[in-house]
Amino acid sequence: MRFYVVTVLPEIFGSFTATGLVGKAIAKGLVGVDPITPRDFTTDKHRTVDDTPYGGGSGMLMMPQPIVHAMEEAEAREQPRSGTRPLRILLSAQGDRFDQAMARELSSHAALTLVCGRYEGVDERAVARVDREISLGDYVLMGGEVGAMVIVEAVSRLLPGVLGNASSIVEESHASGLLEGPQYTRPAEFRGDKVPDVLISGHHAVVARWRRREALRRTLLRRPDLLTHAPLDASDRKLLAELERELAAAKLLGPVGPATLAPDDEG
């Protein structure tokens, strides 16, 4: 899979693409990251990519022509490789919230073009030529480069061969719609805190049930909103009902309500 990154700061991606799992994936030929600077498509000697907004206002806007030409350059590079046009994505505070489900969906594409805004924003005529806008959250960054790195890393790790242990993709937080439960490694005891006995019991089915219960517990306490859409079976709902009553009794949770209980679990 290839990521084309339209950015006025291509040098930011140097160490990102040379180190860690992304760097290894690039070395293996599983992933490609190609920064493209819109300055290469300007027409003045100063390579200007921004100008003052029509109608007044503070700050500068990125002009449409350099960005659109940079996106078209990505398409010209990708066409001989995969025969497809990269999906055009603008990193924007007004975009859809990026999450694991979106990362999984994006991983099905042969290529993405990630457009990184700077200054006070991007001319609407360039915005109109992207396929979608994506936001990392309800806050403002200085530009889209950090967001582009997040997307590259989140999507790349879903590709076959990028992670050494493919099963970790299934077990981690958000992959199943839940937060991941607590995890432990050596030593078996650290400053008086012991690894739960169940994890060293050798009973795989018991360990699996404990991990699922702890994932439900942590999600219920920290991100109960995720339970609305998480794929829960009857066993999950039974565990969840037990946890709700247990945590409510310990005054760690409010009164048990209908939000997460299945009808046949109530009472």
Length of the chain: 267
Q: Would 2-156 and 189-265 be classified into the same CATH topology?
A: no
Q: What pLDDT does residue 164 have?
A: 79
d(CA 67, CA 208): 50
Q: What pLDDT does residue 176 have?
A: 77
Residue environment code for 117-137, b if the CB has 16+ CB neighbours within 10 A, otherwise e: bbbebbbeebbeebeebbbbe
**CATH-assigned architecture of domain 2-156:** 3-Layer(aba) Sandwich (3.40)
Q: Which of 120, 111, 113 is nearest to 80 (CA)?
A: 111
Q: What pLDDT does residue 45 have?
A: 95
Q: Which of 218, 138, 136 is nearest to 176 (CA)?
A: 218
Pairing of strands 111-116, 87-97: parallel
Sketch the domain layout of the chain as residue ranges.
2-156, 189-265
Phi, psi torsion values for 149, nearest 5 degrees: -65, -40
Instruction: Render each residue's pLDDT in the chain as its tens digit; 267 residues.
Output: 999 999 999 999 999 999 999 999 999 999 999 999 999 999 999 999 999 999 998 899 999 999 999 999 999 999 999 999 999 999 999 999 999 999 999 999 999 999 999 998 999 999 999 999 999 999 989 999 999 999 999 999 999 999 977 655 555 556 678 999 999 999 999 999 999 999 999 999 999 999 999 999 999 999 999 999 999 999 999 999 999 999 999 999 876 544 444 434 433
pTM of the model: 0.84
> Residue 187: is the preceding peptide bond cis (ω within 30°)?
yes
| Among the four given CATH numbers 3.40.50.970, 3.30.70.1290, 1.10.10.10, 1.10.1270.20, the one describing domain 189-265 | 1.10.1270.20
